[in-house]
C-alpha cells in the first residue's frame, strides 16, 4: 500500500522507496524528456521532470538573426503546430511595423492554421492511444493526416516545418486544387470522427483508463499557467482565439470545447471536439474567402522595428503561444522571448501525479499533449 507520509513529504526517502527513470530515451516521453520517478511500490511519491536534453537556444538565435532570417526557426519550436507558431512571430513583427495584412491572406492563414491544428491533434490521438496499448488508431490517424500534409505541401512545398506565412502576408496564393481538396477533406473527415467515436471514444477499455484518472483542478492550472486542452479540460473555456482575437478569427463562428471533470478523459474529449470545430472554421473560411492580394503593400526590404516592446499571442495546438520582441531600432531584435504552452503544462505533472499508479501517470502525461522541443526551446 502507498505510504501516505511519503505523499505528504515528497522529500522523504525511507528504504521502501526506489528511483526509476522514464526517459530521456523512452517511447512514453515522445521525445528527449527524462522524468525521475521516486516510487513506493507501484505508486509515485515524486515525479520530477528533467528538461534540457534537446535545448536549442531558439531565443538566443532570435537575438543573433534579423527578422527574416529567424522566421524558419519558429516552425521548429513545435513542429506539429508549425503554422501557428510562425503566425505569432510574423504577427508581432507586423504589429511593430503597423502593416495591414490583406483580408485574403488573413483568411488563408486561418484555414491553413486549422488544418495544421487537426494534423497535430491526429498525431496526438494516435500516439496517445499507442501509449495505452492500442495500435490500430495510429494507422487511421496517420491516414487522415496524410491528406492534410498533401494539401499543405501543394501550397507551401513542405510537409512538416513551414515558412508559408511571411511578414506582411503569405509566400503565395492558394490554388483551385487546394480549395477543392480542402473541401473534400472536410467532407471525408466528419464521418471519420464518428467512426473514431465508435472505435475508440466509446470503448470501455479507454474509459476505464481515463475517466477519473489524472484529475487537474482549476487552481492547479492557474498555479502553473496551464493553457490549451489542459485548462479547458478543467472547465475553463480559455482560448486565445476568443479571449484575444487575432487575424480573422473574430469573423468566424465556433465554440470552445471544455469539460468540468478535469480528468484525462476530459482532455481527450476536448482534443476530439476541437477537430470538429476546426473543420467548422475551415468550411466557413472557404465559403467567405475574399479576393485580392496576399501580401501587404510597401513591406520594407530591410526590416527594422521601431524602438519598443511588441507581443503577439496565438492559440496553438497545445495552448497559448506568445512571441515578445524588444526592439532597439536595429535590424536584429534586442530580445526575443517565446512563451510556449508545453513547459507550463508539463510543470504541473509533478504535483498532479503524486500518489498515482505508474500506468495511470503515463496516461496523465499523454493527455497533456507534450512536444518536447516546445519545452526545450
pLDDT of residue 101: 97
pLDDT of residue 2: 42
Distance CA 88, CA 77 (A): 12
pLDDT of residue 376: 86
Q: Tell me the helix, strand and coil percentages in the chain, rounded to 5.
A: 50, 15, 35
Distance CA 187, CA 92 (A): 34
Distance CA 336, CA 359 (A): 39
Distance CA 245, CA 257 (A): 17
* Closest of 11, 24, 45 to residue 358, by C-alpha: 45
Residues 6+ apart with CB under 8 A from 172: 155, 294
**Is the bond preceding residue 101 a cis peptide, omega within 30 degrees?**
no
pLDDT of residue 6: 47
Residues 6+ apart with CB under 8 A from 126: 137, 138, 139, 140, 141, 142
DSSP characters over 251-295: GS-------SS-SHHHHHHHHHHHHHHHHHHHHHHHHH---S-SB
Pull the grid cell for residue 307.
524602438
pLDDT of residue 11: 54
* Closest of 290, 312, 322, 283 to residue 114, by C-alpha: 283
Pull the grid cell for residue 43.
505508486
pLDDT of residue 9: 53
3-class DSSP assignment, residue 163? coil
Distance CA 119, CA 270 (A): 15
Tens of pLDDT, residues 85-106: 999 999 999 999 999 999 999 9
Bridge partners of 20?
37
Angle, CA of 77, 64 and 322, to the nearest 5°: 40
Torsion angles phi and psi, residue 211, rounded to 5 = -70, 125
Distance CA 109, CA 86 (A): 10
pLDDT of residue 8: 45
Q: Out of 1.10.645.10, 1.10.3720.10, 1.10.10.10, 1.10.287.610, which CATH number does the structure's domain 60-344 have?
A: 1.10.645.10
Residues 6+ apart with CB under 8 A from 173: 104, 108, 294
pLDDT of residue 3: 42
pLDDT of residue 66: 95
pLDDT of residue 112: 98
Distance CA 368, CA 348 (A): 10
Pull the grid cell for residue 27.
517511447
Question: Which parts of the chain sit beneath pLDDT 50?
Answer: 1-6, 8
Amino acid at each position: 500500500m502507498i505510504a501516505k507520509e511519503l505523499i505528504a513529504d515528497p522529500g522523504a526517502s525511507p528504504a521502501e522507496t526506489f528511483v526509476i527513470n522514464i526517459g530521456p530515451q523512452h517511447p512514453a516521453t515522445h521525445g528527449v524528456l527524462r522524468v525521475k520517478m521516486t516510487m513506493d511500490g507501484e505508486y509515485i511519491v515524486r515525479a520530477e521532470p528533467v528538461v534540457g536534453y534537446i535545448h536549442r537556444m531558439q531565443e538566443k538565435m532570435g537575438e543573433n538573426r534579423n527578422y527574416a532570417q529567424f522566421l524558419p526557426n519558429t516552425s521548429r519550436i513545435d513542429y506539429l503546430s508549425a503554422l501557428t507558431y510562425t503566425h505569432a512571430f510574423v504577427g508581432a513583427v507586423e504589429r511593430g511595423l503597423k502593416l495591414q495584412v490583406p483580408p485574403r491572406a488573413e483568411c488563408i492563414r486561418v484555414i491553413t492554421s486549422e488544418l495544421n491544428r487537426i494534423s497535430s491533434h491526429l498525431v496526438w490521438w494516435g500516439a496517445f492511444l499507442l501509449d495505452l496499448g492500442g495500435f490500430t488508431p495510429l494507422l487511421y490517424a496517420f491516414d487522415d493526416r496524410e491528406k492534410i500534409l498533401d494539401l499543405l505541401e501543394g501550397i507551401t512545398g513542405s510537409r512538416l516545418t513551414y515558412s508559408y506565412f511571411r511578414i506582411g502576408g503569405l509566400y503565395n496564393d492558394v490554388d483551385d486544387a487546394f480549395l477543392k481538396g480542402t473541401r473534400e477533406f472536410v467532407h471525408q473527415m466528419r464521418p471519420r470522427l464518428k467512426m473514431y467515436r465508435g472505435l475508440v471514444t466509446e470503448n470501455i477499455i479507454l474509459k476505464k483508463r481515463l475517466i477519473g484518472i489524472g484529475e487537474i483542478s482549476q487552481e492547479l492550472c492557474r498555479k502553473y499557467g496551464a493553457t490549451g486542452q489542459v485548462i479547458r479540460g478543467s472547465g475553463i473555456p480559455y482560448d486565445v482565439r476568443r479571449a484575444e482575437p487575432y487575424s480573422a478569427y473574430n469573423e468566424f463562428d465556433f465554440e470552445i470545447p471544455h469539460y468540468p471533470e478535469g480528468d484525462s478523459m476530459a482532455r481527450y474529449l476536448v482534443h476530439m471536439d476541437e477537430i470538429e470545430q476546426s473543420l467548422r472554421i475551415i468550411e466557413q473560411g472557404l465559403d467567405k474567402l475574399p479576393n485580392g492580394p496576399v501580401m501587404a503593400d510597401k513591406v520594407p526590404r530591410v526590416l527594422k522595428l521601431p524602438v519598443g516592446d511588441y507581443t503577439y499571442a496565438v492559440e496553438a495546438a497545445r495552448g497559448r503561444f506568445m512571441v515578445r520582441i524588444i526592439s532597439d531600432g536595429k535590424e536584429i531584435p534586442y530580445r526575443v522571448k517565446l512563451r510556449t504552452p508545453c513547459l507550463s503544462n508539463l510543470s504541473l505533472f509533478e504535483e498532479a501525479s503524486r500518489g498515482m499508479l505508474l500506468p495511470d501517470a503515463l496516461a496523465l502525461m499523454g493527455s497533456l499533449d507534450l512536444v518536447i522541443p516546445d519545452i526545450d526551446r
